[in-house]
Amino acid sequence: METLNNIVLTIQHYLADYILIIALLGAGIWFSICTRFIQVRGFGEGMRRTFGGLFSKKGDAGNDGMSSFQALATAIAAQVGTGNIAGAATAMAIGGPGAIFWMWVAAFLGMATIYAEALMAQKYKKVGADGVVTGGPVYYIRAAFKGTFGKILAGLFAVLLIFALGFMGNAVQSNSIAASFHTAFGIPQWVMGVIVAVLALFIFSGGMKRIAKVTETIVPVMAALYIIGSLIVIFWNWRNIPTAFYEIFVGAFAPQSIAGGAVGATIKLALTKGVARGLFSNEAGMGSTPHAHAVAKVDHPVEQGFVAMIGVFIDTFIVLTMTALVILTTRAIPLGYKEVDGGYTGAELSQYAFSLVYGKGGEIFIAICMFFFAFSTIVGWYFFGQANIKYLFGAKAVPIYSVLVCVCVVLGSLAQVDLVWNMADCFNSMMVVPNIIGLLALSGMVIKVHNDYFNNFLPKQKASKKANK
């Protein structure tokens, strides 16, 4: 077991620190250029569509898909997970505060990548044999590569995603909930595992309609809860806000000059850990969130592309940044290093930072946030896995898949098994490769759909509105 774990860790090291950073940053730069930095030009439209959907009647999801906002909520449910609490903390613990700057860079470029993913997911979505609309990378990979190679690449992606997210990934999320509730309230971990599994199965059994209803309700609540709780801590330590931003920007290029930062922090560490954690947090380029964006009911693929970009913005520039500022303004780094041998890292560092203001309440706050973040991720990742189960085995296999996911949720709550956790990360990384290959192969189609919106669809839409006045 130990040997296998070491092999998995070695593979993951080279994937995360080298191959994926090059692939994902490269794709982000490429699609930024291809779309003439749509993440800047289309940002306002994305915000209008997102928050317009939040405060308007969203409509019911059904076999024909979800509303644009419901699709975004499902995507954010998966994007905003335990990584937003633990990811920023881990990156800073290893690479120093400057890692946050590189998270922002990765997110900025990732907004262009996820725009391209949403366009292709919409372009190549299908109506399954059960009459339910579905979509995702497997369909645009098949469109990019005809014949055997396309089948193998799409099949590989489907298998990797099912195991990475549906099974092992959801076990990880369940463990995060169980561990945090055990710390905060003393509830046995297996009890929380059973509770989460029962709730999850109830939602899964309701299909797309119930999943959409849950995500559109829970996502705004969990985001607001975490942002408000974080802002209280940040403004409680308002005198340290300028210092926090100073450490982020200076630490990105000169980590050694930041007193009390992570020991041994270098520009390379800040960049690699920041980019890696940022990319994995917002999931841009990973091929997961296109499953949600594919089923959005929109008039043109670009309309969902605008909305998809805001998901990355909310995940990294808002939620993840909140975590970073809480840690920096409370001076959890370096205080956490002085009080504990080796220092806090991950969720423990975030928990410690909140406790400096809330006391014991910090553990309770993190436990509640962990529940919202991790449970919503379980729902989102189940939905993504379901699309690939249908692709491989048909709709009849979905009930079996639902039960297996719930079994993984229960087992994951019991104890942390390093091998399972590391394999989840490794499979997560591996599924990026076929997705990016397919996406880059469809660059011409991305540009074609993008141009069609601005050159044809949008002018006609404006002319129609003008004529109706």
Q: What span, in angstroms and rounded, lies between the C-alpha atoms of 45 and 453? A: 13
- Residue 8 has a pLDDT of 77
Q: Which residues of 282-314 are buried (b: 16+ CB within 10 A; e: fewer)?
A: bbbbbbbbbbbbbbbbbebbbbbbbbbbbbbbb
Q: What span, in angstroms and rounded, lies between the C-alpha atoms of 121 and 76? A: 16
H/E element, 419: helix 418-430
User: Could you tell me if 166 and 378 are in contact, meaning their C-beta atoms sit under 8 angstroms apart?
Assistant: no
With 0.75 as the threshold, say if the pTM is over it.
yes
Give mean pLDDT, residues 88-112.
83
All structural domains of the chain: 2-40+62-448 (1.20.1740.10)
Q: Report cis status (omega within 30 of 0) of the bond before 334.
A: yes
- Residue 421 has a pLDDT of 67
- Residue 57 has a pLDDT of 47
**Could you read off the pLDDT of 269-305 as tens digits, one per residue?**
777 777 777 766 778 888 888 998 998 888 899 999 9
- Residue 188 has a pLDDT of 87
Confidence of residue 350 (pLDDT cuts 50, 70, 90): confident
User: Could you tell me if 80 and 376 are in contact, meaning their C-beta atoms sit under 8 angstroms apart?
Assistant: yes
H/E element, 167: none
- Least confident segment among 251-255, 312-316, 372-376: 251-255
**Could you read off the pLDDT of 136-187 as tens digits, one per residue?**
999 999 999 988 999 999 999 999 999 888 888 888 888 878 877 887 788 8
Give mean pLDDT, residues 228-237.
93
Q: Angle 360-393/170-185 helices, nearest 10 degrees?
A: 160
User: Could you tell me if 442 and 27 are in contact, meaning their C-beta atoms sit under 8 angstroms apart?
Assistant: no
Q: What span, in angstroms and rounded, lies between the C-alpha atoms of 283 and 286? A: 5
Q: Is the pLDDT of residue 345 over 90?
A: no
Residue 127 in 3-state DSSP? strand
